[in-house]
Chain A
């Protein structure tokens, strides 16, 4: 008996001493590409930090963030949970060939606040405003989920929001075209965004409200920019049986060309000559090759003859949509309220714009605490 016990003791001590030593020795990253966030830094050892418990909390965050082979551990956990019969892990449904972000019930008060902020904004600016709420894969591809799974009825939420905006904004029904193409590649398998094809459907759905002539799908040239995209959902569960996603760029040879893209990060301005920031294709976060990561303002200047200017107040779903819109506007500015803490008028002149388009996916819209910042324009 005792030999086996001795083996247990020795192996246990080897594991619990070697792992922390390796963590100590191995170089540490400051930024996790996989999770797309800054990792917790080693906390400073001060009396205040200790007394308040901040040191302890941050130390645990630091140690957990820098735990070696984090991805392998997460993958092991996911496999174990699937084996135990779970259908969702960390808020992600794991299906045979794809991952879907779970969207649950929402905070009615917050949605009401968001609606009234947008309505109030539309009333004040006296520029035609359009609202496009985009359902996520959790709604459109619901039939791939367990029929009993309790998820949010996004269609009902969209209808309810739109009915409260009636008369103030024109609204875009993105649900119907997306739903009729639900079996096409309109959402990434490993990411929570819509694909370029999904965004094309949104672009086409918005044509009537925004007043442009949709360019037919078959007029576009499609370039497969990457066949090796593993998105945010993959990062949450490290489950690779779905295979990677493809990033597609749609270009319209007969259309406009983009002269300049200006990214305003709040502290500086950067200039690009294309809407596709190809340096992201070699990184983990390949979706950001569409006009970069979320920034306060991104403005696309094109040689479109219309001379019209569009302001897009948005979440990241807009990034793959804007390339289509540039065919019809000589200037499109994306404003991300999550990164702007002042009255929009302080940063740009709202009167310059001919139209305003709100683009949000249902999940962000139902959770975003920043839309109320529109009230600053009062």
Chain B
């Protein structure tokens, strides 16, 4: 099930929340588990077993690691086996087609591709569940003996299919004891509805512009059309992804959980290194904690540091999809980050802040071209169109029509991707606190109604993370 559907909003969510509030404390985690399983099975009626199996593996590993507290070899073995199972499942279901097609191509083999469909959210829940085993091994947390509590953590429906990747220690205390107050629910509602608005009103609508451009003949695009298209995707992926995260955080709050923030105005970053501290924050910190730092992080010689960075960015790319373009996309950022660390950073700091933001934004936009096209020929064609080297014109009828149809939405998206609206509200709030306070519920109800109108008649409502 996706959050942005009338079935979720008007059937699943009210039923689950009412049951949840009505349930006695001891049953709440069981309800979280049950609702998560139904939510997941709604989209993956078969693979839900796979997710529960992963849960069981890491739960067992946690118990074993705690049990063999004094036996380093048994601890290590428990951890290694669990991580191996996690990764093996991920590889089989997500990467087997990719690996087989590459092996066939390189070695001229004829291995058959099992063609397994990718389970939704497998990368999110595997990473989430695996972090528990790793943290147990690194002694960052204490064991969870109650299977229902642990399974509730993995299957928490707000974040199961599109993040944020919540680490066990971030919710460990709340799994045992959490309080739900009407005020907190209200806060959650506000965050949820703003996220829904980002997804349904901004991402879906600007996404139609990108779909139009992407489906046009790429070698005939005018320069303006190409830029409009990739800017549209730049905003679509941000509002879609951060909208999903906001909805997750909001629903978490309605149920008494505090999930970590996943996005922090990434398009205002002044460098690519900073961008990755503001974009999909929970993924970056996952790789930092469980890959980069265990490999020595930056407290190593230059060569090893280069290796560590390239490994992390290779994996970051690969995490986003089983295809070379995602790997290149990850390495592209790895190379820029290495350059920033070794020499570019010094020069960057000397130029005006606005130019630093433009530098980062443009590089991120170029990155999205790599991200969006599987086929490297298309990537080349698209860059060709953006710089007019395909022999195309600067602008044509199509670009003018698209510009006039989407200009207002593009401006709204551009403003919405910054923190200026927030600052403005805070400023007005300083002068008219009561007025702003009570305007907020009105705004939220308005959002809910308009989002409902768009969902009832939705012609375009994609789920962008089906390859993650």
Residues facing B in A2-60 (CB within 8 A) are 2-13, 15-17, 19-20, 23, 50-53, 56, 59-60
Closest to B457 in A: A74
Q: Report the minimal beta-carbon distance from A91 to chain B, rounded to whole angstroms.
A: 8
Determine whether the beta carbon of B452 is less than 8 Å from that of A5. no
A22 to chain B, nearest CB (A): 10
Given the contacts A7-B441, A11-B441, A148-B397, A16 and B10 also touching, CB distance less than 8 Å: yes
| Known contacts A7-B186, A12-B448: A85-B407 contact under CB 8 Å | yes
Q: Please tell me if B409 contacts chain A, counting CB pairs below 8 Å.
A: yes
Bound together, the chains give a CA A80 to CA B187 distance in angstroms of 27
The answer to whether B190 has its CB under 8 Å from any CB of chain A is yes
Which candidate, B41-49, B70-78, B85-93, is the interface stretch facing chain A? B41-49
Q: Is the CB of B10 within 8 A of A63?
A: yes
B6 x A76 contact (CB < 8 A):
no
Knowing A90-B459, A150-B397, A150-B398 touch, does A4 contact B441 (C-beta < 8 A)?
A: yes
With both chains docked as a complex, state the minimum distance between the C-beta of B98 and any C-beta of chain A, in angstroms.
25
Which chain B residue lies CB-closest to A5?
B186
Q: Which among A9, A70, A77, A81 has the greatest number of chain B C-beta atoms within 10 A?
A: A9
A67 at the interface (CB under 8 A from B): yes
Interface residues of A: mostly helix, strand, loop or mixed?
helix
Measured in the bound complex, the distance between the Cα atoms of B290 and A93 in whole Å is 53
**Is B454 an interface position by the 8 A CB rule?**
yes
* In the complex, A147 has a CB within 8 A of chain B: yes
Which residue of B has the minimal Cβ distance to A47?
A: B45
For the complex formed, measure the closest distance between the CB of B223 and the CB atoms of chain A, giving whole angstroms: 16
Residue of A with least CB distance to B1:
A56
Given contacts A56-B43, A67-B6, contact A15 B397 (CB under 8 A): no
Cα distance A1–B397 when bound, in Å?
51
Give bound CA distance, A6 to B405, whole Å.
39
A63, B397: Cβ atoms closer than 8 Å: no
Given contacts A6-B183, A53-B45, A84-B409, contact A146 B457 (CB under 8 A): no
Cβ of B419 < 8 Å from any Cβ of A? no
Q: What B residues does A50 contact at CB under 8 A?
A: 45
Q: Which residue of B has the minimal Cβ distance to A147?
A: B397
A149 within 8 A of B: yes
Counting CB contacts under 8 A, is A73 at the interface? Answer: yes
User: Given that A8-B190, A74-B457, A150-B401 are contacting pairs, would A19 and B10 also be in contact in the complex, using a CB cutoff of 8 Å?
Assistant: yes
CA–CA, A167 and B437, complex, Å? 76
Q: Which of these, A16, A23, A51, A90, contacts B13 with CB under 8 Å? A: A16
A283 to B200, CA, bound (A): 34
Say yes or no for A182: interface residue by CB 8 A criterion. Answer: no
Q: Which residue of A lies closest to B460 (CB)?
A: A90
Closest residue of chain A to B410, judged by CB? Answer: A85
Does any Cβ of B come within 8 Å of A64's Cβ?
yes
Chain B residues within an 8 Å CB radius of A86: 405-406
Please state if B453 and A5 are interface contacts (CB–CB under 8 Å): no
What residues on A are CB-neighbors of B452 within 8 Å?
Answer: 73
Q: Give A129 to B134 CA distance when docked, in angstroms.
A: 77
Q: Cβ of B412: which chain A residues have Cβ within 8 Å of it?
A: 84
- With both beta carbons as reference points, the residue of chain B lying nearest to A12 in the complex is identified as B189
| Given A5-B186, A12-B448, A80-B450, A20 contacting B437 (CB threshold 8 A) | no
Flag A101-126 by CB within 8 Å of B: 1 or 0 each.
Answer: 00000000000000000000000000
- Name A4's closest neighbour in chain B (CB-CB): B437
Q: How many residues of A contact B (CB 8 A)?
A: 47
Q: How far is the CB of B429 from chain A (nearest CB, A)?
A: 10
Assess A77 versus B186: contact at CB under 8 Å? Given A8-B440, A20-B10, A67-B6.
Answer: no
- Contact of B376 with A by CB under 8 A: no
Given known contacts A4-B186, A4-B441, A9-B182, is B456 in contact with A15 (CB within 8 Å)? no
- B398–A148 contact, CB under 8 A? yes
Q: Kindly provide the distance from the CB of A201 to the nearest chain B CB, expressed in whole angstroms.
A: 29
Q: In whole Å, how far is B182's beta carbon from the nearest beta carbon of chain A?
A: 5
Given known A-B contacts A9-B186, A85-B406, A20 and B14 have beta carbons under 8 A apart:
yes
Contact A67 B456 (CB under 8 A): yes
Contacts of B404 on A, CB cut-off 8 Å?
A: 85, 87, 146, 148
Chain B, range 82-107, C-beta contacts under 8 Å to A: none
Interface class of chain B by DSSP: helix
Q: In the complex, which residues of chain A have a beta carbon less than 8 angstroms from the beta carbon of B6?
A: 60, 63-64, 67
Q: Which residue of B lies closest to A54 (CB)?
A: B45
Contact B182 A6 (CB under 8 A): yes
B428 interfacial contact with A, CB 8 Å: no
B186 touching A87, Cβ below 8 Å: no
CB distance from B119 to the nearest CB of A (A): 13
Q: Which B307-355 residues have C-beta < 8 A from chain A? A: none
A17 to B14, CA, bound (A): 6
Q: Is B30 an interface residue (CB 8 A)?
A: no
Docked CA distance A378–B14 (Å): 59
Q: What residues of chain B lie closer than 8 Å to A13, measured between beta carbons?
A: 14, 17
- Interface presence of B415 (CB below 8 A): no
Asked whether A90 and B457 contact (CB < 8 A) given A8-B190, A12-B189, A64-B6, the answer is yes
CB distance from A69 to the nearest CB of B (A): 9
- CA gap between A88 and B404 in the complex, in Å: 12
Partner of B14, one of A7, A10, A16, A84: A16
- Give the Cβ gap from B440 to chain A, nearest Cβ, in Å: 6
Q: Is B9 an interface residue (CB 8 A)?
A: yes
Residues of A within 8 A of B408 (CB): 84-85
> B18: CB under 8 A from chain A?
yes
Contact partner of B401 (CB less than 8 A), chosen from A15, A74, A149, is A149
B306 located at the interface, meaning its Cβ lies under 8 Å from any Cβ of chain A in the complex = no
B18→A8 contact, CB < 8 A: no
Closest to B454 in A: A77
Q: When chains A and B are docked, how far (Å) is the Cα of A246 from the Cα of B442?
A: 42
Is B140 at the interface (CB under 8 A from chain A)?
A: no
Once the chains bind, are A5 and B183 in contact (CB under 8 Å)? yes
Question: Are B401 and A148 interface neighbours, CB within 8 A?
Answer: yes
List residues of chain A with CB within 8 A of the CB of B184: 5
CA A93 – CA B426 in complex, angstroms?
Answer: 40
In angstroms, Cα B189 to Cα A16, docked, is 12
- Rounded to whole angstroms, the CA-CA distance of A23 and B7 in the bound complex is 12
Residue from B190, B408, B444, B457 with most neighbouring chain A CB atoms (10 Å): B457
Complex CA gap A70/B454 in Å reads: 11
Complex interface: chain B residues within 8 A of A5 (CB): 182-187, 190
Could you tell me if A84 and B400 are in contact, using CB atoms closer than 8 angstroms?
no
B430 to chain A, nearest CB (A): 14
B11 at the interface (CB under 8 A from A): yes
B258 at the interface (CB under 8 A from A): no
> Which residues of A does B touch, CB under 8 Å?
1-13, 15-17, 19-20, 23, 50-53, 56, 59-60, 63-64, 67, 70, 73-74, 76-77, 80-81, 84-88, 90, 146-150
**9 cross-chain CB contacts under 8 A:** A3-B437, A5-B190, A8-B190, A12-B186, A56-B45, A67-B6, A84-B205, A85-B408, A148-B398
A6-B183, A7-B438, A84-B409 known; 6 other A-B pairs, CB under 8 Å? Answer: A4-B186, A19-B10, A56-B45, A76-B453, A146-B404, A148-B397
**Chain B contact residues, CB within 8 Å of chain A:** 1, 5-7, 9-11, 13-14, 17-18, 42-43, 45-46, 182-190, 193, 205, 397-398, 400-401, 404-409, 412, 437-438, 440-441, 444-445, 448-450, 452-454, 456-457, 459
Q: 8 closest Cβ contacts across the A-B interface?
A: A5-B186, A9-B186, A148-B397, A148-B401, A76-B453, A73-B456, A8-B186, A85-B408
